[in-house]
């Protein structure tokens, strides 16, 4: 296995507090299978991807655009324990049925979903082949070694909501994995909170953020030969 891999995945900044997953999808699509903005917006409209976007939504998005993918998660559906988390509380009741139905219909729609645990070594092997992955992490835990200051949590607040920068327990956020360095034990990723950099953290910090309660260890593998 290569010691150092860094794929040329473009950085795209999110526009709102809720669309980090869509920004990550745009990065991936520009990297491997360019799709016009018109087609992308049309697909998002057809899939009703507005205000609340789950990893399963991104898997459906890839399927609609004929992108080879595999969504790995710890829970096939919505974990009812998330109901009490402030991050999920507001939309939980309206989203639970919708998201569960997406999981139930996935196979018939050609959306690839697996309930399994993924290792960092498997992620490295995926990246080494030139493929990328969209990962759900806890932004509170994720720390970039190269950024002088951490992302402010007000970046993720709804427009117009007053910010007191009080650190929440969990802040779900999507990032794109684009490389690693085995010598330094680092993983490279694009954070849609920024438009001008590739971020870097240790394998351990990445795992801590990715395996935090609230993420279901969601990872959407996307393949270059789509």
DSSP reduced 3-state for 97:
helix
Question: CB–CB of 139/87 below 8 Å?
Answer: no
Q: How many helices (H) and strands (E) does the chain have?
A: 7, 8
Q: Confidence band (pLDDT; 50, 70, 90) for 162?
A: low
Q: Is the dihedral of CA 220, 216, 17, 59 positive or negative?
A: positive
23-26's contacts with Cβ under 8 Å and 24+ in sequence apart are: 23/174, 23/192, 24/58, 24/134, 24/174, 24/175, 24/176, 24/190, 24/192, 25/58, 25/61, 25/62, 25/134
CA 108 vs. chain centroid, Å, equals 23
Between 89-98, 120-129, 203-212, 214-223, the lowest mean confidence (pLDDT) is in 89-98
Distance CA 103, CA 100 (A): 5
Number of domains the chain is built from: 1
Q: What CATH number does residue 48 fall under? A: 3.90.70.10
Q: What is the mean pLDDT of residues 45-54?
A: 89
Rg, C-alpha atoms of the chain: 16
Q: How many CA atoms lie within 13 A of 1 on its CB side?
A: 16
Distance CA 97, CA 180 (A): 37
Q: How many CA atoms lie within 13 A of 206 on its CB side?
A: 29
Residue 74 predicted with pLDDT over 70: yes
Q: Confidence band (pLDDT; 50, 70, 90) for 34?
A: confident
Between 89-98, 111-120, 174-183, the lowest mean confidence (pLDDT) is in 89-98
Q: Confidence band (pLDDT; 50, 70, 90) for 161?
A: low
The pLDDT value given to residue 90: 67
Distance CA 23, CA 81 (A): 27
Question: CB–CB of 136/173 below 8 Å?
Answer: yes
The pLDDT value given to residue 51: 77
Which position has the higher pLDDT, 158 or 17? 17
The pLDDT value given to residue 73: 97
Mean pLDDT, the chain, as a whole number? Answer: 89
Question: CB–CB of 97/150 below 8 Å?
Answer: no
205 is in which domain, residue-wise?
4-222
For the entire predicted model, the pTM comes to 0.90
């Amino acid at each position: 296995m290569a010691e150092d891999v860094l794929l040329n995945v473009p950085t795209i900044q999110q526009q709102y507090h809720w669309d980090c997953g869509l920004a990550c999808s745009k990065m991936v699509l520009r990297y491997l299978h360019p799709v016009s903005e018109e087609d992308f917006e049309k697909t998002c409209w057809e899939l009703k991807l507005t205000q609340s976007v789950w990893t399963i939504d991104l898997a459906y998005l890839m399927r609609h655009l004929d992108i080879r993918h595999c969504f790995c998660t710890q829970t096939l559906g919505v974990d009812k324990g998330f109901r009490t988390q402030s991050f999920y509380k507001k939309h939980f009741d309206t989203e639970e049925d919708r998201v569960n139905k997406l999981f139930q219909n996935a196979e018939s729609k050609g959306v690839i979903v697996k309930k399994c645990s993924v290792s960092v070594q498997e992620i490295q092997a995926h990246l080494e082949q030139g493929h990328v992955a969209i990962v759900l992490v806890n932004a509170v835990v994720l720390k970039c070694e190269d950024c002088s200051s951490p992302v402010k949590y007000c970046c993720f607040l709804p427009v117009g909501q007053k910010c007191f920068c009080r650190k929440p327990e969990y802040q779900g956020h999507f990032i794109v994995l684009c490389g690693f360095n085995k010598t330094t034990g680092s993983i490279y990723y694009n954070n849609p909170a920024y438009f001008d950099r590739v971020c870097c953290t240790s394998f351990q910090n990445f795992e801590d953020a990715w395996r935090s309660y609230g993420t279901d260890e969601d990872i959407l593998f996307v393949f270059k030969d789509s």
